[in-house]
């Protein structure tokens, strides 16, 4: 199975988690016989195709449990392909240590951060991104007023900050469809001590009233930026960032400005299939000559 066919199969799985994903269906997508497909899939991913599908469905349901409070446990279980909420709760407890309801009340974000490593490893190392210099465009970014919730501390606990920000957005009726979502990244998590890690969770907003969530008014500065569109899971976002700082900067004459990298979250998982999530990466640049 070529890399392109393999990428197609994983994308098909992401887009059809609510459908029947039998061995025969997926083998047909790969243009392989079922006899050879499951062996080739296991050789490339390190896990069987049935397990991969089950974990993909479970991951979506678990993200819904963490960030989509309007969905019931029964609805999540059905969408994940379980016979009922009891079976789903057992699987949730096995992977995350607690039931979905208990996790919603008191999340263990450290365990959460490591729960998807097997799936993320498949995507990142078996399906590497292939960027081209022509994918990067230069724009004049306008000064943008935002509502900002600073995250300070271990990256693995950022889910806690996201949930607080979602709660503020709901109270202020500012869903992503009405107010663009931004992340401001001050630090490289691989090079920063966990307690010193900083990222701001933001959305476009002209003014912010005092609130109990810690959301404050802030501004993303205007200026020239290089923009690279990343399409795919967050586990591969670091690869797109490294392309910008590595190959792209090395090949041209641009110089980074003394301002943090920031992201525009155009669409995101679990609202869309994971391979269809879109993030625009903005690298601030020095003024042109």
| Residues written for the chain | 289
CB 62 within 8 A of CB 96: yes
Q: DSSP labels for 113-146? A: HHTTHHHHHIIIIIS-----GGG-EEEEEPPEEE
CA neighbor of 218 nearest in space, from 141, 144, 140: 144
**Beta-carbon count within 10 A of 175 CB:** 12
What are residue 147's DSSP bridge partners?
Answer: 203, 217
3 state DSSP class of 6 = helix
φ and ψ at residue 272, rounded to 5 degrees: -125, 165
How far apart, in whole angstroms, are the C-alpha atoms of residue 246 and residue 234? 19
Digits of tens for pLDDT over the chain (289 positions)? 566 788 888 889 988 888 889 999 999 998 889 888 888 888 888 889 988 998 888 888 888 888 888 888 888 888 777 878 888 888 888 888 888 888 888 888 888 888 888 888 887 766 667 777 779 999 999 999 999 999 999 988 999 999 999 999 999 999 999 999 999 999 988 889 989 999 999 999 999 999 999 999 999 999 999 999 999 888 889 889 999 999 999 988 899 999 999 999 999 988 898 888 999 999 999 986 5
Residue-range domains of the chain with CATH? 3-126 (1.10.10.60), 133-284 (3.20.80.10)
């Amino acid at each position: 199975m070529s890399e392109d066919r393999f990428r197609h199969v994983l994308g098909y799985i992401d887009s059809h988690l609510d459908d029947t994903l039998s061995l025969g269906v997926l083998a047909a997508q790969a243009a392989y016989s079922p006899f050879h497909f499951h062996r080739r899939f296991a050789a490339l991913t390190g896990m069987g195709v049935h397990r991969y599908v089950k974990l993909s469905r479970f991951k979506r349901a678990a993200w819904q449990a963490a960030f989509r409070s309007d969905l019931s446990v029964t609805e999540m279980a059905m969408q994940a392909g379980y016979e009922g909420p009891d079976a789903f709760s057992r699987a949730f407890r096995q992977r995350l240590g607690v039931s979905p309801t208990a996790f919603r009340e008191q999340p263990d974000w450290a365990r959460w951060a490591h729960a998807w490593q097997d799936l993320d490893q498949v995507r990142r190392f078996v399906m590497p991104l292939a960027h081209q210099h022509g994918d990067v465009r230069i724009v004049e970014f306008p000064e943008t007023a935002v509502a900002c919730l600073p995250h300070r501390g271990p990256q693995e606990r950022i889910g806690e900050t996201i949930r607080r920000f979602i709660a503020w957005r709901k109270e202020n009726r500012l869903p992503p469809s009405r107010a663009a979502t931004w992340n401001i990244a001050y630090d490289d998590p691989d090079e920063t001590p966990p307690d010193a890690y900083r990222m701001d969770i933001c959305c476009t907003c002209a003014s912010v009233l005092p609130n109990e969530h810690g959301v404050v008014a802030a501004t993303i500065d205007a200026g020239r930026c290089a923009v690279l569109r990343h399409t795919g899971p967050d586990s591969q976002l670091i690869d797109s960032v490294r392309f910008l700082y590595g190959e792209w900067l090395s090949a041209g004459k641009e110089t980074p400005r003394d301002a943090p990298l920031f992201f525009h979250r155009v669409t995101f998982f679990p609202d869309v299939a994971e391979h269809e999530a879109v993030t625009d990466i903005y690298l601030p640049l020095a003024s042109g000559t």
